[in-house]
């Protein structure tokens, strides 16, 4: 009996489906820890089970969850076999489906060189880096500074440049009580030595011929604009509908950029702002997620539809549930939840 209790757990092997990638997971280590130790660009951010970035589908094998996946993943995702790699300790060999990042992650010094107000609480913020960063439209960077309580993630708002770039811009919302954003909006940070690590994430436009439904809230417009600008520049010929949710008219921004995108877009393009609290002339009223069915109908209600959601965790959870209820497969739903310190403590 004692022998069994203290017996060493065997090392487990993880195979990434559709690739020749295989790695070993150390005793009591998570899938994510071992993947990163093996030098793989496994998608991740918080590493504590709250952001959902390491969401992967378990095709075979068994895992133990350090914290229940259900705190972050929806019932639909759990039923479809999704796990959180940062919380999953293998109990057998595993086969996992996940999209690895491709570009080399760079860590570089950076200075904050420009800021422009977009709304009363969102700014376009630009860092100048020492080394060029290569990213895919939709991805994000991790930013730290001396004394930072931890990295802060910010999604790129511009289409990437071929050959990489040293100017990185993101739309950043002021979070009341936030360690970084309170300083950003209240102090001159031009002399602060930042460090940027990028690219991260797997929120990019998947190949396909079907229409694209994009849903954003707050600063969640940042990667959606990047993704749309990049697709427009590449001449992507797919119908697209952008739903954007705010509380009041003062929360709407990037009107000129979106109008310009609509003109350059090769397929049909529609922008639908939705306001939850204060009605305004000609603008839909309600929760942005309540517009999903009408948006899908405009896009032709086809199984080829792909959905891309970005912004507050609550909006994403409601959006994923609505999309699944409307018949969209989880494999066609891609999202980045903008979690912060308050999500991590819950």
Ligand X SMILES: Cc1cc2nc3c(=O)[nH]c(=O)nc-3n(C[C@H](O)[C@H](O)[C@H](O)COP(=O)(O)OP(=O)(O)OC[C@H]3O[C@@H](n4cnc5c(N)ncnc54)[C@H](O)[C@@H]3O)c2cc1C
Q: In whole angstroms, give the CA distance from residue 185 to residue 195.
A: 19
Q: In whole angstroms, give the CA distance from residue 104 to residue 164.
A: 11
Q: In whole angstroms, give the CA distance from residue 222 to residue 157.
A: 4
Q: Which does 181 bind (CB under 5 to 8 A by kind): ligand FES, ligand X, none?
A: ligand X
Distances from the Cα of 164 to the Cα of 109, 168, 310, angstroms: 15, 10, 24
180 binds ligand X, rule: CB under 6 A:
yes
Report yes or no: 263 and 256 within 8 Å, Cβ to Cβ: no
Q: Which does 222 bind (CB under 5 to 8 A by kind): ligand X, ligand FES, none?
A: ligand X
Of the pair 49, 201, the CB lying nearest ligand X is at 201
173 binds ligand X, rule: CB under 6 A:
yes
341 binds ligand X, rule: CB under 6 A:
yes
Q: How far is the CB of 201 from ligand FES (least distance, A)?
A: 10
Residue from 108, 129, 144, 181 in contact with ligand X (CB under 6 A): 181
Q: Which does 315 bind (CB under 5 to 8 A by kind): ligand FES, ligand X, none?
A: none
140 binds ligand X, rule: CB under 6 A:
yes
Q: Which does 54 bind (CB under 5 to 8 A by kind): ligand FES, ligand X, none?
A: ligand FES
Residue from 39, 163, 176, 303 in contact with ligand X (CB under 6 A): 176
User: Which residue stretch of 4-12, 13-21, 179-187, 233-241 sits at the interface with ligand X (rule: CB under 6 A)?
Assistant: 179-187
Distances from the Cα of 88 to the Cα of 62, 220, 225, angstroms: 9, 28, 33
CB atoms within 10 A of CB 195: 17
Of the pair 87, 181, the CB lying nearest ligand FES is at 87
147 binds ligand X, rule: CB under 6 A:
no
269 binds ligand X, rule: CB under 6 A:
no
Q: Which does 334 bind (CB under 5 to 8 A by kind): ligand X, ligand FES, none?
A: none
Q: In whole angstroms, give the CA distance from residue 224 to residue 155.
A: 9
Q: Spell out the residues 6+ positions from residue 105 whose beta carbon is closer than 8 angstroms to its own.
A: 41, 197, 198, 199, 200
CA 273, distance to chain mean position in Å, is 21
User: Which residue stretch of 4-12, 45-53, 111-119, 249-257 sits at the interface with ligand X (rule: CB under 6 A)?
Assistant: 45-53
Residue from 153, 169, 226, 289 in contact with ligand X (CB under 6 A): 153
What residue ranges bind ligand FES (CB under 6 A)? 44-47, 49-54, 72, 84, 86
Q: Spell out the residues 6+ positions from residue 57 whose beta carbon is closer than 8 angstroms to its own.
A: 80, 81, 82, 83, 96, 97, 98
Take residue 125 and report the two structure tokens written for it: 């913020």
Of the pair 46, 96, the CB lying nearest ligand FES is at 46
230 binds ligand X, rule: CB under 6 A:
no
Binding residues for ligand X, total number by CB under 6 A: 29
Residue among 111, 156, 159 nearest 131 (CA)? 111
User: Which residue stretch of 87-95, 168-176, 204-212, 251-259 sits at the interface with ligand X (rule: CB under 6 A)?
Assistant: 168-176
Strands of the chain (E only): list them.
Answer: 12-16, 22-25, 55-60, 63-65, 82-84, 88-90, 94-97, 106-117, 122-133, 140-144, 152-155, 165-173, 194-200, 212-217, 240-246, 269-275, 284-285, 306-311, 333-337
Residues found near ligand X in the complex (CB under 6 A): 45, 51, 53, 140, 152-155, 170-173, 175-181, 201, 219, 222, 336, 338-342, 345
């Amino acid at each position: 009996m004692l022998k069994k209790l203290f017996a060493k757990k065997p090392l487990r092997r993880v195979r990434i489906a559709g690739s020749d990638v295989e790695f070993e997971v150390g005793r009591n280590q998570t899938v994510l820890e071992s993947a990163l130790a093996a030098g793989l660009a496994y998608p991740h951010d918080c590493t504590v089970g709250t952001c959902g970035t390491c969401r992967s589908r378990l095709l075979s094998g068994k895992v133990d969850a350090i914290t229940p996946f259900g705190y972050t993943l929806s019932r639909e995702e759990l039923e479809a076999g999704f796990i959180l790699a940062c919380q999953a300790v293998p109990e057998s060999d595993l086969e996992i489906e996940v999209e690895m990042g491709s570009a080399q992650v760079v860590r570089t010094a950076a200075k904050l060189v420009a800021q422009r107000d977009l709304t009363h609480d969102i700014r376009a913020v630009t860092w100048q880096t020492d080394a060029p960063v290569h990213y895919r439209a939709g991805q994000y960077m991790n930013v730290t500074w001396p004394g930072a309580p931890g990295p802060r993630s910010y999604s790129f708002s511009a289409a990437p440049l071929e050959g990489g770039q040293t100017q990185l811009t993101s739309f950043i919302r002021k979070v009341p009580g936030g360690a970084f954003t309170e300083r950003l909006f209240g102090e001159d940070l031009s002399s602060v030595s930042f460090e940027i690590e990028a690219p991260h994430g797997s929120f990019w436009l998947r190949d396909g011929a079907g229409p694209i439904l994009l849903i954003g809230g707050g600063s969640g417009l940042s990667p959606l604009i990047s993704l749309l600008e990049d697709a427009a520049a590449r001449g992507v010929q797919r119908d697209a509908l952008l739903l954007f949710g705010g509380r009041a008219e003062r929360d709407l921004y990037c009107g000129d950029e979106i109008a310009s995108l609509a003109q350059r877009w090769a397929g049909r393009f529609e922008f639908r702002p939705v306001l939850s609290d204060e009605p305004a002339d000609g603008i839909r009223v309600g929760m942005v997620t309540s517009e999903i069915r009408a948006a899908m109908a405009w896009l032709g209600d086809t199984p080829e539809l792909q959905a891309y959601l970005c912004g507050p965790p609550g909006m994403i959870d409601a959006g994923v549930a609505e999309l699944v209820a409307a018949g969209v497969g989880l494999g066609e739903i891609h999202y980045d939840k903008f979690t912060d310190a308050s999500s991590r403590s819950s």
